[in-house]
Amino acid sequence: MSTKFSLEELELKANDIRQDIIKMLECAGSGHSAGPLGLADIFSALYFDVLKHNPAKPNWNQRDILLLSNGHCAPVLYATMAHAGYFDKKELLTLRKFNSRLQGHPERQRLPGLENTSGPLGCGLSQACGMALAMRMNKDKFRWIYVVMGDGEQDEGNIWEGAMLASKYKISNIICISDRNNIQIDGPTETVMPLEDLHAKWESFGWYVIEVDGNNIEAVIDACAMAKAVVEKPVMIIAHTVPGKGVDFMEYDFHWHGVPPNHEEAIKALHELRTLQGKIRSEHE
Amino acid sequence: MNESINIEDVDSGKIISEPMKIGYSRGLAEAGRKNENVVAVSSDVAGSTGTEAFAKEFPERFIEVGVAEQNLVTVGSGLAAMGKMPFVAAYGAFSPGRNWEQIRTTICLNDRPVKIVGTHVGLSDAPDGATHQMLEDIALMRVLPNMTVIAPCDSIEAAKATIALANYNHPAYMRIARDDTPIITTPKTAFQIGKAYVWAEGKDITIISTGRMTYHALQAAEKLYKDGIDLEVIHCPTIKPLDAVTILHSVKKTGLVITAEEAQINGGLGGVVSELLGEEHPVPIKRIGMRDHFGESGSPEELFEHFGLTANHICLAAHEMISKYKKEEK
């Protein structure tokens, strides 16, 4: 993308993406709310600033790769892709419907611009490793591979197998972003299966670790820039996010991990997002 | 008998044997020389799976992931995403034994041309016991959409299958046995993915066999011929997609079927053939293979005898079927 957006524009895009997530989930009648809302700032930063990509040419051979490892957060990926111009925003309301390209969990072959098929957790990083090693063998022009993964997902052993491999082969063009929102489907991560000390875990696996406020777009962009300056090591950005971010009654509540808003809740949520939780007046009032 | 197979030596017992991994190893290196996109991944079993020679010849195209079979196949998926033709080999008990879901999601649903090679399958890892004797792999792999399943009968066919798979742009699983296996094919024997071959013509019973059991089926055919039973032997190295045309053509002639495999008959070749015949041409069928048991430690010969997988067991099954269904004719 050649256009550089201002921070304010990126924040507005994140808000628009959140509104679309609410509309999509309400229309679908099922799906995950908390994770996608919490990730909207990260996705706005990635698709409108960080990533080298071209929505008109999804298979461009010099694009950066973004792998969504926690496939249940598909709504934020789809909404952001639509805003970036990969497809018409009208299609967003087909999420989870029969014959839609927007499957409940992303299927690569259904929609141009998807790099992987995910949903079953823990597989994104290893696929990124395979891609990076293939690029190295191909002597490709240098490209970045971003992996967005959940925190609860890190209960999976496959993640740590990939972590060891990336470190062994000094795969420095992988930048992982952990959505550290502290919830998973059955409760707080530290109750279900404690992950802390997550920073020390990744560091001890040979990764360079950055911690950042994942709802601060500027901080996310800065962290990605810093990650690119690290050589010989893969980088893990632990992005602390608020699950359900932007919708007061969803924030921090793990019960919103895997359910959509109903019609009344959606109206309430959209009102909150349009008024920035009551801070401004909305034209929709 | 089909002239392109080595049946003379089967009869005389002078047959040469070698592990199928030698064939895999040769095939992989040859495929690697022809196509620079062929790469190999190992989970700490490069020596015992036959991957080592490739790794030595093409060190920059070899990846060692450690004892991590979930990683093995997901790294394979990533390599394939960037245009590589990855061969990922490990003991069948661990891959596809441990990593079935990763194979399902990141390889099959994703339709990436990763070649999964399961070694030490069937009862061939005899002394290691039930934990290492992979008997459920055919069933596990054949139910996956987009997956192809291959079981060569010897090292020469394993090499041919490997080369064919290196030019095949979809997911596939190939199972190979560990120990010395009689070489019954020659470099001239035909092999094509998706084809079954009539290796001995007969009119009384059709036996459809895969992997190492074809050797035993050919031995049984010789013995039965002396008893006045004319066995048609179909070697079926591709279990999926099944060569229904060749099988139905034979079965319509003979009207009786035996299947033989070194695997669980439930969901294995026995299951595959039963499903086909149940829908298309129902006839009596006897399935030789593992009947819902795990294996155990022993020598391969002891285990084959104990679990009923020898040529004699095939002969017995044939006699039973003839006396039950064709007695009047005989």
Please indicate if any CB of chain A lies within 8 Å of the CB of B98: no
Homologous superfamily in CATH for domain B17-182: Thiamin diphosphate (ThDP)-binding fold, Pyr/PP domains (3.40.50.970)
pLDDT digit string (tens) for B77-130?
Answer: 999 999 999 999 999 999 999 999 999 999 999 999 999 999 999 999 999 999
Q: Within a 13 Å sphere around the CA of B145, how many CA atoms are in the beta-carbon half?
A: 4
Contact B161, B191 (CB under 8 A): yes
Could you tell me which residues come within 8 angstroms of residue B217 by beta carbon, excluding any fewer than 6 positions away?
B207, B209, B231, B233, B235, B260, B311, B314
Query: Other C-beta atoms within 10 Å of A108: how many?
Result: 18
Domain boundaries, chain B: 7-13+190-325, 17-182
Radius of gyration of chain B (CA): 19
Is the bond preceding A194 in cis, omega lying within 30 degrees of 0?
Answer: no
- What does residue A7 show for φ and ψ, rounded to 5 degrees? -60, -40
Q: Which chain B residues are within 8 Å of A157, Cβ to Cβ?
A: 70
Domains B7-13+190-325 and B17-182 share a fold: yes
Q: Determine which of A69, A136, A165, A174 to mutate to test the interface with B (most B C-beta atoms within 10 Å).
A: A165
Tell me the mean pLDDT per 10 residues along chain A, length 285: 83 97 98 97 98 97 97 98 98 98 98 97 98 95 95 98 98 98 95 98 98 98 98 97 97 95 97 86 63
CATH of the structural domain A7-274, one choice from 3.40.50.970, 3.40.50.360, 3.40.50.1370, 3.40.50.300: 3.40.50.970
Regarding the domain delimited by B7-13+190-325, which CATH topology (the fold level of the hierarchy) does it fall under? Rossmann fold (3.40.50)
User: CA of B125 to nearest chain A CA: how many angstroms apart?
Assistant: 27
Exposure of A258 by Cβ count < 10 A (0-12 exposed, 13-18 middle, 19+ buried)? middle
Token pair recorded at residue B325: 């269904």
Could you tell me which residues come within 8 angstroms of residue B70 by beta carbon, excluding any fewer than 6 positions away?
A122, A123, A126, A157, A158, A161, B98, B99, B102
pLDDT digit string (tens) for B184-229?
Answer: 999 999 999 999 999 999 999 999 999 999 999 999 999 999 999 9
Could you tell me which residues come within 8 angstroms of residue B136 by beta carbon, excluding any fewer than 6 positions away?
B97, B263, B264, B267
pLDDT score of B6: 74
- In this prediction, residue B1 has a pLDDT band, given cuts at 50, 70 and 90, of low
Contact B8, B200 (CB under 8 A): no
**Who among B60, B71, B82 is closest to A131 (CB)?**
B82
Domain boundaries, chain A: 7-274
Could you tell me which residues come within 8 angstroms of residue B97 by beta carbon, excluding any fewer than 6 positions away?
B69, B91, B118, B134, B136, B137, B140
Question: Cα A76 vs. chain centroid, distance in angstroms?
Answer: 7
CA distance A257 to B299: 54
Exposure of B69 by Cβ count < 10 A (0-12 exposed, 13-18 middle, 19+ buried)? buried
Beta strands in A12-82 (DSSP E): 65-68
Exposure of B200 by Cβ count < 10 A (0-12 exposed, 13-18 middle, 19+ buried)? buried
Q: Which chain A residues are within 8 Å of B94, Cβ to Cβ?
A: none
A220: β partners: none
Q: Which chain B residues are within 8 Å of A115, Cβ to Cβ?
A: 81
CA distance B64 to B80: 16
